[in-house]
Structure 1
């Protein structure tokens, strides 16, 4: 399974190097970077300390949307204050959620935001699940390299699992479900209810495969009833 880590606009080469080192230590190999050339700075390679091949194979993207284009399920790290109405999973909960998703998606990604400001709300809306590291007291945050290490350590066990390849229909189940929900909100004329739309978006990311399939069936029945009512 493909499982890239994505760094959005990292400013410090040292942080990128530390992230690459953490990745290699825990068995992750693919690094994607959005809107930053800092990984080319010699300081990144110096701090990477033996993880130079990860920096050599970095893929650069112009936007987070481009970096996620071939990803079936994505998780973004953020501070709770940025989460709006979203569900906020701990690293331990993320591990369980992703372990279930591995049974029916072919690719997952973990997204980290800018060192100073994290991810924008628009960027948060592009991912399936939000997570953050619970902090003792009110210390603001870990630095980027430390945060990458925490998640690489927590999720490293997933790299050891053997899963049966999923069929194409199941891979597209979540994306299709999101589209159907968005279209239904428009039909019901409630798409401007930000709290409702945000809640639905984040709950879909938590659905297991069987629940997702059942919700597709329910939406099909609702859509059919709406069509019949409008045709009457």
Structure 2
């Protein structure tokens, strides 16, 4: 399993440099930048201090959706749980989720939002689960570099072990389940029930490997029965 750090539209080069330094210190290497060139500014390199290779090798994308094309499991950070029905984990709880998935998930993204406004609701909806740092301040706030450090620190030991384990799975299992669910919901005429569709998709993020396999089997059986019924109606 490889964990990718994604920064969405970072405005301050110094924050990107601090994030790169946190990554390097804790053993992370893959940085993706969305809709920003802050990592190319000299100020980012000044703060990065010894982690310039992470900035130099950072991949750039025009949108978060583009940055997630090859990602199997997406975790979005937010100061509060704003997306409808999303499952929310603390950094400690997130680690236990990733430990279960390290045998069958290849690429994980940990997504951080803008310094001033975080991630939009539309961007949060691209995630499988949400996470955040519990804080006691009246006005809870961490700057971008601090937030990246908290998660990199929490996941450092796990990340080192996960990199040594080859995931025993084909890429995109959760995405494939989502597509099958969409087709089935459409076929049974429940497409207009947005609440149901949202709930089904967001449950996928907390499935364990056995659950995902059983759900694939169950959906296959339903699709087979529906196909048989359609054939009888055509006769």
TM-score range, shorter chain: over 0.9
Q: Within 2, Cα distance between the matches of 1:172 and 1:10? A: 28
Using the TM superposition, name which of 97-106 and 115-124 deviates more.
115-124
Q: Within 2, Cα distance between the matches of 1:47 and 1:226? A: 59
- Corresponding position of 2:228: 228
Alignment partner of 1:23 is 2:23: yes
Using the TM superposition, name which of 187-196 and 208-217 deviates more.
187-196
Deviation at 1:230, TM superposition (A): 3.1
- Corresponding position of 1:5: 5
- Corresponding position of 2:147: 147
Q: How does 1:50-129 map to 2 (within 5 A)?
A: 50-129=50-129
Q: Within 1, Cα distance between the matches of 2:210 and 2:81? A: 32
Which stretches of structure 1, 4 residues or more, deviate above 6 A after TM superposition?
A: none
Q: TM-score, normalised by structure 1?
A: 0.93
Deviation at 1:83, TM superposition (A): 2.3
* 1:88-143 CA-partner distances (Å, limit 9, x unpaired): 11111111111111101211111111111111222222222111111214323211
Q: Within 1, Cα distance between the matches of 2:138 and 2:229? A: 54
Verify the 8 A CA contact 2:104 2:169 in the aligned structure 1: no
Q: Within 1, Cα distance between the matches of 2:193 and 2:143? A: 35
Verify the 8 A CA contact 1:71 1:109 in the aligned structure 2: yes
Verify the 8 A CA contact 2:83 2:125 in the aligned structure 1: no
- Corresponding position of 2:44: 44
Alignment partner of 1:166 is 2:167: yes
Q: How does 1:189-228 map to 2 (within 5 A)?
A: 189-228=189-228
Q: Within 1, Cα distance between the matches of 2:136 and 2:200? A: 30
* 1:53-88 CA-partner distances (Å, limit 9, x unpaired): 111111111111111111221111013242222111
SS at match of 2:109: strand
Q: TM-score, normalised by structure 2?
A: 0.92
Using the TM superposition, name which of 145-154 and 50-59 deviates more.
50-59
SS at match of 1:93: helix
Verify the 8 A CA contact 2:72 2:173 in the aligned structure 1: no
User: What RMSD in Å do the two structures reach over aligned CA positions?
Assistant: 1.6
Using the TM superposition, name which of 222-231 and 85-94 deviates more.
222-231
The size of the alignment, in residue pairs, is 231
TM-aligned CA distance change 1:178 to 1:211, over 3 Å: same
Verify the 8 A CA contact 1:91 1:132 in the aligned structure 2: yes
Verify the 8 A CA contact 1:173 1:213 in the aligned structure 2: no
